Amino acid sequence: GVDVCRVSASWSYTAFVTRGGRVELSGSASGAAGGCRDAWASEGLLLVLRAAPGPEALLQAWAPDSSLRGEPLWAHNVVPEAVEEDDPGGEAQIGRLPLLPCARAYVSPRPPFYRPLDPALRARQLELGAEHALLLDAAGQVFSWGGGRHGQLGHGTLEAELEPRLLEALQGLTMAEVAAGGWHSVCVSETGDIYIWGWNESGQLALPTRNLAEDGETVAREATGLNEDGSQVKRTGRVEDGAPAPFIAVQPFPALLDLPLGSDAVKVSCGSRHTAVVTRTGELYTWGWGKYGQLGHEDTTSLDWPRRVEYFVDKQLQVKAVTCGPWNTYVYAVEKGKS
As for how many domains the chain has, the answer is 2
Length of the chain: 339
Same domain, 188 and 272: yes
Q: What is the pLDDT of residues 111-150, one digit of tens each?
A: 888 899 998 899 999 999 999 999 999 999 999 999 999 9
Same domain, 67 and 126: no
Per the structure, the complete domain to which residue 280 belongs is given by 121-217+245-338
| Domain's final residue, options 27, 60, 81 | 81
Q: What is the CA radius of gyration of the chain?
A: 20
Same domain, 54 and 132: no
pLDDT of residue 234: 34
Q: What is the pLDDT of residues 185-215, one digit of tens each?
A: 999 999 999 999 999 999 999 998 887 877 6
Same domain, 315 and 171: yes
Same domain, 291 and 186: yes
Please report whether residue 153 resides in a domain. Answer: yes
CATH number assigned to the domain comprising residue 181: 2.130.10.30
Same domain, 187 and 297: yes
92 three-state secondary structure: helix
Please report whether residue 159 resides in a domain. Answer: yes
Classify residue 132 by burial, with Cβ atoms within 10 Å: 0-12, 13-18, 19+. Answer: buried
Please report whether residue 29 resides in a domain. Answer: yes
Count other C-beta atoms under 10 Å from residue 230's C-beta: 7
Mean pLDDT of 2-21: 94
Same domain, 52 and 133: no
pLDDT greater than 60 at residue 218: no
Phi-psi domain of 301 (left: phi exceeds 0; alpha: psi -120 through 50; beta: other): beta
Record the pTM: 0.87
Please report whether residue 135 resides in a domain. Answer: yes
Same domain, 268 and 326: yes
Classify residue 174 by burial, with Cβ atoms within 10 Å: 0-12, 13-18, 19+. Answer: exposed
Same domain, 160 and 279: yes
